[in-house]
């Protein structure tokens, strides 16, 4: 949780990312407060059992952040269509989440300092206070808040799981829904058990074993939640990585095309290092721009070469990326040496069903382009009666 919280600190500032960062930060603090050393130090401080209040307040902050995350996800949709219920729930959460969190936190704080028996520091709060009505009432306020929030998240994420077609995102939503099932069982199971203990006080061994068993369930909840939230981000990371490697491969060809037509790109082309280490433009968007830039440049190059250049390139290199690479190299050479503009020359573009297919083809063309030298370009132009 701490690692993901640090990672998400660098992940952007939109509402979704801020909410998830607050969520992981709150849960990280809650989990650190449960470790033996931190728990012992806080529980034996001037505020007896301070780790309990810190744990529940930080968890409450994390739960509120989850509520805002749901609002950020569904609040942008119109309240009709297939997602009508999800949107309505999000709008309801938006109205009550903060007030509910403040009310629950205030009530728990008052009860913690008034009706909870804190005469001796506890090691395991639930088992050490088994059968005590003050601690039971305090934990009930927390468990109702936690269980209700888990149920709302379960409803939203289970519905999103049924509607989602993308495999990795569907897996992530499924894991998050499983985490919320554990959250509901953990919250209401513990609450009902603690009230039962008031009527039938358990042995200390049984209470301790029950505490440890449900704590294990909570740990599993955190694992499912962290993985579920991270899997979709991992998918996006893979997409960005593929886009970045595509940028690396096509940069030389893109740069020479933009150097020939400097008015095409939105910005002046930078060095390889500067272009490939940019933080102000997402790699996917940058790749999309480059694909369109190169298509525009090739369209302009068709006015500087003879009509038979494509056929000559295909005769020399076959029908494939090498032919297109040689055509581009020869066309750039012709323009560089002052060829006048003329009619549009023939050019064959490999058909692609989507951008991924287009990028894959451009990568092959770019690889062949790097192997094509100026002498080949001159020879190709000479074979069509042009000069370079």
Q: What is the pLDDT of residues 187-197, one digit of tens each?
A: 999 999 999 99
Tell me the pLDDT band of 159, cut-offs 50, 70 and 90: confident
pLDDT at 353: 66
pLDDT at 106: 94
Residue with token string 């790749």: 287
Q: What is the pLDDT of residues 45-98, one digit of tens each?
A: 999 999 999 999 999 999 988 888 887 776 566 666 656 677 777 777 777 888
What average pLDDT does this structure show over 309-336? Answer: 87
pLDDT at 388: 43
In percent, the amount of the chain with pLDDT more than 90 equals: 45
Q: Record the tokens describing residue 319, joined without a space.
A: 């029908």
Q: Taking a C-beta distance cutoff of 8 angstroms, is the pair 214, 189 a contact?
A: yes
pLDDT at 197: 95
Distance between CA 78 and CA 68 in Å, rounded?
A: 17
Q: Taking a C-beta distance cutoff of 8 angstroms, is the pair 116, 140 a contact?
A: no
Q: Taking a C-beta distance cutoff of 8 angstroms, is the pair 112, 138 a contact?
A: yes
Q: What is the pTM of this model?
A: 0.67
Distance between CA 275 and CA 282 in Å, rounded?
A: 11
pLDDT at 14: 67
What average pLDDT does this structure show over 326-351? Answer: 84
Range picked from 8-22, 243-257, 315-329, 365-379 for highest mean pLDDT: 243-257
pLDDT at 188: 96
What average pLDDT does this structure show over 325-330? Answer: 90
Instruction: Tell me the pLDDT of the chain averaged across its residues.
Output: 87
Residue count of the chain: 388
Tell me the pLDDT band of 308, cut-offs 50, 70 and 90: confident
For the residues of 104-143, what is the DSSP string, one character each?
A: HHHHHHHHHHHTS--SS--SSHHHHTTT-HHHHHHHHHHH
pLDDT at 386: 57
In percent, the amount of the chain with pLDDT more than 70 equals: 94
Q: Taking a C-beta distance cutoff of 8 angstroms, is the pair 217, 150 a contact?
A: no
Q: Which H or E run includes 180?
A: helix 167-199
Q: What is the pLDDT of residues 134-155, one digit of tens each?
A: 999 999 999 999 999 999 889 8
pLDDT at 289: 92
Residue 36 has pLDDT above 80, yes or no: yes
Q: How far, CA to CA in Å, does 360 sit from each of 129, 351, 365?
A: 64, 11, 9
Distance between CA 166 and CA 154 in Å, rounded?
A: 19
């Amino acid at each position: 949780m701490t690692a993901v919280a640090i990672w998400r600190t660098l992940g952007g500032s939109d509402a979704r990312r801020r909410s998830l960062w607050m969520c992981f930060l709150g849960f990280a603090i809650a989990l650190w407060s449960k470790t033996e050393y931190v728990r012992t130090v806080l529980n034996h401080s001037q505020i007896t059992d301070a780790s309990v209040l810190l744990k529940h307040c930080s968890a409450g902050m994390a739960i509120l952040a989850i509520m805002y995350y749901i609002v950020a996800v569904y609040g942008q949709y119109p309240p009709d269509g297939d997602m009508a219920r999800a949107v309505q729930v999000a709008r309801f959460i938006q109205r009550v989440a903060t007030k509910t969190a403040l009310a629950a936190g205030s009530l728990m704080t008052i009860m913690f300092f008034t009706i909870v028996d804190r005469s001796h520091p506890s090691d395991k709060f639930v088992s050490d206070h088994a059968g005590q009505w003050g601690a039971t009432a305090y934990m009930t306020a927390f468990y109702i808040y936690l269980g209700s929030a888990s149920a709302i998240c379960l409803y939203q994420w289970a519905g999103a799981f049924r509607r989602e077609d993308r495999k990795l995102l569907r897996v992530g939503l499924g894991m998050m829904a499983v985490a919320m099932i554990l959250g509901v069982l953990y919250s209401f199971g513990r609450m009902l058990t603690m009230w039962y203990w008031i009527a039938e006080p358990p042995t200390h061994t049984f209470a301790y074993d029950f505490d440890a068993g449900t704590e294990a369930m909570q740990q599993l909840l955190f694992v499912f939640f962290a993985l579920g939230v991270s899997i979709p981000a991992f998918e996006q990371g893979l997409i960005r990585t593929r886009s970045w490697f595509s940028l690396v491969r096509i940069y030389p060809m893109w740069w020479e095309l933009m150097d020939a037509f400097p008015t095409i790109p939105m910005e002046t082309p930078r060095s390889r290092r500067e272009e490939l280490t940019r933080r102000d433009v997402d790699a996917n968007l940058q790749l999309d721009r480059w694909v369109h830039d190169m298509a525009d440049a090739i369209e302009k190059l068709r006015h500087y070469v003879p009509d038979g250049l494509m056929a000559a390139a295909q005769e020399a290199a076959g029908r494939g990326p090498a032919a297109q690479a040689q055509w581009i190299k020869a066309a750039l050479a012709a323009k560089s040496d002052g060829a006048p503009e003329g009619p549009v020359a023939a050019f064959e573009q490999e058909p692609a069903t989507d951008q991924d297919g287009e990028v894959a083809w451009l990568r092959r063309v770019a690889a062949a382009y790097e192997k094509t030298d100026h002498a080949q370009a001159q020879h190709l132009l000479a074979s069509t009666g042009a000069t370079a």
